[in-house]
Structure 1
Amino acid sequence: MKVPFTWKPTGWYMIGWSPEFPTGQARPLRYFGEDLVAYRDDHGDLHVLQAHCRHLGAHLGHGGKVNGDCIECPFHGWGWGPDGRNRYIPYQDRPNRAAQLRVWPVREQYDCVFLWHHPDGEPPRWEMPDIFTSFPQFDTDPANYYSPYPEFSRRAEREPVHPQIVAENGPDSVHFQYVHRATVRPVVLDWRIVDREWRFLTGWPDARSDDPDKMALRIHSHMFGLGGAISAFEGSSNHRLIFAVTPVDDTCSNMFYSIWWPRVPGDDGDVPPDDVRARVEKEFLISVWDDLDIWRYQEYIEHPTHATVDARAYVELRRWATQFYEVPPTGDAATAR
């Protein structure tokens, strides 16, 4: 997908789920065109660093060992701390104090793992919002929901979709009728910009009522930048979800989807009951990637012809998105204008 902006926007981006990063193991990752290594140290803390050892360039995620809070190079045993500095060289009495790996700030939230990206490596400018406390009008106790991973989580890898294309679904309620085969057309009830977030409220009219303002379902969503959105459902369904998209390089992204489903009263088990799993699968998990059939082949129209009903929200969302682009486009993106 050619777009007139960079694939390296600033913000928080999901890179996986906490159980995928067990204690004492190193894992290779690739995001934003960079090779990374993730490891959970012996204290249980997760770290993400630049992947290649500054000695002779070995990839720390392929054969690297965790030693205390360090990741140890598989080539010559150099140890790198969570601050990115060389802590030890096993065959000499002192480290190379000038050697430094880039550190990528990480946050874990209810088994979801988020990475802070800034093209120049600057520290986080805002914090990742909390999917529970961001919606205090609803139940904010995570213990009252089933854990999203693995039963209620899905991933799509290396899809040719830029994060802004996903964000532009925010003000678009009409597509539900055509893409998701909705029998009732939802409406955008409200949208506003709060600090770095684009917040919007979508309503699903009650088909059993003659009152057009009566909603069977409301979806409260907060985009936390271009990395995705957290949402709380109110009405016929009362769950939470995250839909996140993270660039791999200048051509494709990985996508992540997780649902926090309310527990059946009295059930404190780790695995949801079969009937709950079947409902969530049928109503939400099967259709989550419907949009991909559009996005994979979509051309980005820089100056679209809008319908009257959607023009203002689309224009404002694209204006809001510009704050996350701090470097110019490269490669195909640079020629897309």
Structure 2
Amino acid sequence: MAPTPLPMEPTGWFQVAWRTEITVGAVHRMKYFGREMVAWRSASGRIAVFDAYCEHLGAHLGYGGHVEGENLVCPFHGWEWNRDGRNVCIPYESHPNKGRRIRSYPVVERNEAVWIWYDIHGRAPHFDVPDVFASFGDDKTAHDYYPPVPAATLYRQRLELHPQYVLENGVDFAHFKFVHKTPFVPTFTRHDFSGPVSFVDFTIAFDAGVAENDVNSGVESINAGLGCTVTKSWGMVDNRTMPAVTPVDDVTSDVRFTVWIGREAGDDSPEITAYGKTMAAYIIEQFEADIHIWAHQRYSDPPALSRKEFDGFTALRAWAAQFYPDDGAVTDPDRRPASQGRTS
């Protein structure tokens, strides 16, 4: 498949792991945005994400590098780097090299996940990762839901899709009957694209005869940029979900999906139950049906929209444009084009 015309280096927060994957002392290798990276957790439990190569002579810190206290130690010559990517020790010199720095990324641990802030120009974060509970303004907390990791998660690597496809799905009322085989059509009650964090809500109206009783249900979504979405579903199966799509290179992305299922009344089990797993599997199955479409989709620009689709798709695409580089300039001195190979 040819690369999408949408830039694969949008600005924003992107999930690179679940937090339980990076234990104290671990050095975790990964590749995102065409860059080799490492994530590591210090002795105090704080996490850092770096470009993978030592600034000394270019050793890959994920192959033999190790954590000592609050620093990451290069396997080649023992140079030590702190969480900010600063050299703090050269074991055979009396002073560190204060002039060199490994590119480090702003990191947030939230919603069982590890998020990094990526911006091609090296700018600081200007919005936050929403909380899958607190951001919806109700009284529910994580204690009201079964723990999702790892039993209620999905992880698909290097699929040929773009993060914006997932966001566009959020305003696409027409796909429900055809992709998910549902007997209802959602009615959108909120489209708010006024800032970098957007809101999309809808309610569900069942066709006549489908349900014996009226069911008041719906979905509320908070989209923090293109890489981070949290949803609250209510009325049928109480759940929260978190789809996250992170570009790997110019063509592919990793997809993660985390599902919190509301506990059955009186159940305070520390682990997810058979009921929780069954409900989560159903929700993941529905998300997989979307993935099957996205992974084989060609971005249509301009799209052939129907009258009812026009407002939602037009507003979302105009909102999404703010997260793409505004020109081809490279202002981050640590950044080199992916075509030049590895970066350090």
Q: Partner residue of 1:56?
A: 57
How far, CA to CA, are the matches of 1:296 and 1:145 in structure 2? 30
Cross-structure match for 1:231: 231
Distance 2:163 2:51 in 1: 23
Give 3-state SS (helix, strand or coil) of 1:317's partner.
helix
Alpha-carbon shift at residue 280 of structure 1 (Å):
2.3
Matches within 5 A, 1:98-117: 98-117=99-118
SS in 2 for 1:185: strand
What's 1:311 paired with?
Answer: 310
Q: Which runs of 5+ in 1 are unaligned?
A: 333-337
Structure 1 match to 2:219: 219
- d(CA) in 2 for partners of 1:124 and 1:279? 35
Aligned twin of 1:272: 272
CA distance in 1 between partners of 2:313 and 2:286 (Å): 24
> Does the 8 Å CA contact 1:5/1:328 hold for their aligned counterparts?
no
Aligned residues: 328
Deviation string for 1:212-248 (max 9, x for gaps)? xx65420001111110311001111221111110101
Residue 153 of structure 1 is matched in structure 2 by 153
Find the counterpart in structure 1 of residue 199 from structure 2.
199
User: 1:65 maps to what in 2?
Assistant: 66
Q: Which runs of no fewer than 5 residues in structure 2 stay unpaired? A: 329-336, 340-344
Q: Deviation string for 1:166-223 (max 9, x for gaps)?
A: 2111110111111111122223232112421221112221345799xx6542000111
Q: Do the aligned partners of 1:13 and 1:246 also contact (CA within 8 Å) in 2? A: yes
- Which amino acid in the other structure matches residue 314 of structure 1? F
Q: Is the 8 A contact 1:155 1:254 kept in 2?
A: yes
Q: How does 1:17-56 map to 2 (within 5 A)?
A: 17-56=18-57
**Match of 1:130, as an amino acid?**
D
Inter-partner Cα distance in structure 2 for 1:279 and 1:242: 15
Using the alignment, how far apart are the partners of 1:284 and 1:45 within structure 2? 32
How far has the Cα of 1:112 moved from its partner?
1.2
The one-letter code matched in structure 2 to 1:260 is W
Runs of 4+ off more than 6 Å: 329-332
Secondary structure at 2:178's aligned position in 1? Answer: helix
Percent identity for Structure 1 against Structure 2: 33
Q: TM-score of the superposition, structure 1-length normalised?
A: 0.92
Q: Is the 8 A contact 2:183 2:206 kept in 1?
A: no
Corresponding residue number in structure 1 for 2:342: none
| Contact 2:148–2:272 (CA under 8 A) maintained in structure 1 | no
DSSP-derived class of the 1:107 partner:
strand
TM-score by length of 2: 0.90
Q: Distance in 2 between matches of 1:314 and 1:272?
A: 37
Confirm or deny: 8 A CA contact 1:163 1:226 kept in the other structure: yes
Once the two structures are TM-superposed, the CA of residue 140 in structure 1 deviates from its matched residue by 2.8
Deviation at 1:292, TM superposition (A): 2.2
Cα root mean square deviation, aligned: 2.1
**2-structure distance, mates of 1:237, 1:267:** 16
Q: Distance in 2 between matches of 1:140 and 1:325?
A: 35
User: Aligned in 2, Cα 1:175/1:89: closer, same or farther, shift over 3 Å?
Assistant: same
What CA deviation, in whole Å up to 9, does each residue of 1:130-189 have, x standing for no partner? 11111113x332212112101111111100001112211111011111111112222323
**Does structure 1 residue 186 correspond to structure 2 residue 192?**
no
CA contact (8 A) 2:193 2:315 kept: no
Match of 1:335 in 2: none
Matches within 5 A, 1:235-250: 235-250=235-250
